[in-house]
Homo-oligomer: A and B are copies of this chain.
Amino acid sequence: MSWWCCDQSRTRPPTPDKPSTPRRHRPRGDPRCRRRIVQHTRFRDHDDATDRRRVGIRQASLYNHFATKNDILVTLLHDTVTPTVEFDESLDDAEPADVRLCALTWFDAAQLCAGRWNLGALYLLPEIRTEPFDTFRLGRLRLARRYHDLAVEVLGGGTLAGGDPRADLPFRLVESVIDIRADRQMDGQTIDAQLPETLATAALTVLGRTDVGIVDRARALLVGVSVDSLSAVRARE
């Protein structure tokens, strides 16, 4: 069975007639090659030749750039987490926790919505529990912990808030994008452009915060964020 189970509904048409510069002489693991392959390949179990042509690699194998198929999957999965971690690190600690949590959820939901494929659908694969995916799993858990810590701050901090089961909900709400995309794809429907804002607001509401001012302030933190995925969502609004 293929581990490929992602949304291809927004895949751009292949352009086999316009291959870019061959990359065959680049060393294995060249970041430019890896990114190009990750972004443009459909990663089916077979027909690698078509995939290579599509990304402009005419003779070299995908495996000049990735040692194993797991390496490709690891790279794909990291791309579902890394942009959000970087956005989180860019947030000013002086901002209140509720504003940062709202902005983080908004950004994360937007990038999960707008990614070309619904890569989060791969999170539950049995392979992900194995050693090659340790770094990815730890990265995702650190992100979950970040959501949790911000939620605990929103709930007032301290031991009582630390044990509040609601503190886990913002992370779960943001990852619901994955199921929503999967279901929408099956129904042939598109995602509601409002979804990131809806989830960002809900992430506060479940913690008891309903102040519209927090959402407005979080929205301001997203202005000017030059992330393709976020722009893609905005473009559909």
Chain A interface residues (CB < 8 Å from chain B):
1-5, 121, 123-127, 129, 137, 141, 144, 165-166, 168-169, 172-173, 175-176, 178-180, 182-183, 186-187, 192, 194-195, 198, 202, 205-206, 208, 210
Contact = CB atoms under 8 A, between A and B. Distances in A.
A183 B165 CA distance: 15
A70 B155 CA distance: 45
Contacts of A126: 1-2, 4-5
Contacts of A165: 192, 194-195, 198
A166 B203 CA distance: 12
B169 A202 contact: yes
A177 to B, nearest CB: 9
Query: Chain A: interface secondary structure?
Result: helix
B202 A137 contact: no
B124 A124 contact: yes
B169 A173 contact: yes
B202 A5 contact: no
Given A124-B5, A125-B5, A206-B205, A179 B175 contact: yes
Nearest to A121: B124
A123 B183 CA distance: 10
A127 B5 CA distance: 9
Nearest to A182: B124
Given A5-B126, A124-B178, A169-B202, 8 more contacts: A1-B126, A4-B126, A121-B124, A144-B183, A165-B194, A166-B198, A169-B198, A206-B206
Nearest to A169: B202
Nearest to A144: B183
